[in-house]
Structure 1
Amino acid sequence: MSTSPERGEDLVDVLVHDHREIEEMFAELEPGDAGLVERRRLTNAVVAELVRHSVAEEQYLYPVVRRALPAGDRIAEHEMHDHADAERDMKKLENLDPATDPDFELVLTKLMAETRQHFLEEEVDLFPRLRAVVEPDELRELARKAQLIKKIAPTRPHPAAPDSPAVSRLLVPALGLVDRIRDALRKP
């Protein structure tokens, strides 16, 4: 869903752009006016975008956070914990029917609230701190890499998959391919 970064756009710009796109999707889900089929489609779309966004952060944002910020390991671990919680909720949503399962709305509302809090923390605290200590050229290169990985990233949650960037780099293309095949087979 994201477009490629413009000349001069850095990793923070790319991630904030993702946040805005995901927030727009949340806004479509909130009123609850969509029919059940549309509600499922919107939920699947937001989950796919959240998964791709998370992969980009885990591969490129958190390693630089660990290296560049004081207490970077602690910050990255907190962020990864948020991702793990969200991934479990996304996996639950995948198996809930908005028409028949009363937990669907509860899990969706929880996911949206926690994701919004995560975005706020990043935008207000983490991103400005990162821009203050990381060279602009490095952040632009990370933007380019993040956009590339989002093109091949999975579209579904895989909570059991390892989170380490080294292992994930090997798994991301394979999981992404499998997810895209599953997505194609699922379309009407």
Structure 2
Amino acid sequence: MTDTRQQNVVDLLLEQHEQIRDLFAKVQKARGKRKEELFSDLVRLLAVHETAEEEIVHPASREKIPSGEKVVAGRLKEESEAKEELAHLHDLGVDHPEFDGKLAELAEAVSAHADHEEREEFSQLRKAVSEDELRKMAGALRAAEAIAPTRPHPAAGESAVGNMLLGPPVAVFDRMRDAVRDWSRSNKG
């Protein structure tokens, strides 16, 4: 793992993409309570990751890379579809008969989305933005993740402004719900 003070935003996001792919594989193999726990971890990571990208990375890409608006529009469409499906899976629950099939479809779509970001957005961002600025963006991304919602909220949209306005109150609610869930799990006798 890279020293986080020296890590740039592209390297941080690539690392998170690997964590997401790994979590999808673990959820697909797990059963019972462990599957539920891993899926909760996946939901949280995806929600936080996408929110932070929408607030920090996509605006920079729009401004700094050639055809940035077009590149970001494609990624936002994919993110919107993934949020809808993730919310649907969350509502279904891991024990639902359709869960595994729908999870596999989502894993494939999220992996394709990550590949598009890596090829079309991150590689250009790395060329267009100085290393120092990319490191500063990593710090801003971490700050955005710290206050991001921990569940998908498809109705909130995919804009940086929307996330900044709606994100903090929704995040407080999500984090309170997470704390109650975690407390209840740890106190089951």
TM-score (normalizing by structure 1):
0.91
Hey, what does 1:16 align to over in structure 2?
14
Hey, what does 1:121 align to over in structure 2?
116
Hey, what does 1:82 align to over in structure 2?
78
Q: Say if 2:9 and 2:137, in contact at 8 Å, map to a contact too.
A: yes
Distance of 2:51 and 2:104 partners within structure 1: 22
| TM superposition shift of 1:22 | 1.3
Distance of 1:156 and 1:82 partners within structure 2: 17
Hey, what does 1:167 align to over in structure 2?
162
Gaps of 5+ in 2: none
In the TM superposition, 1:1-188 aligns within 5 A as 6-31=4-29, 34-99=30-95, 101-187=96-182, 188=185
Deviations 1:88-138 (A, max 9, x none): 011001111332x22211221111111111111222332111111112222
CA RMSD across the alignment? 1.7
Q: Percent identity?
A: 32
Distance of 1:44 and 1:51 partners within structure 2: 11
| TM superposition shift of 1:8 | 2.3
Deviations 1:24-66 (A, max 9, x none): 21221233xx222211111111011001110111011110111
1:74 and 1:7, CA in 2 relative to 1: closer, same or farther beyond 3 A? same
Q: Which has the higher helix share?
A: 2
Distance of 2:84 and 2:76 partners within structure 1: 12
TM-score (normalizing by structure 2):
0.90
Distance of 1:126 and 1:70 partners within structure 2: 10
Gaps of 5+ in 1: none
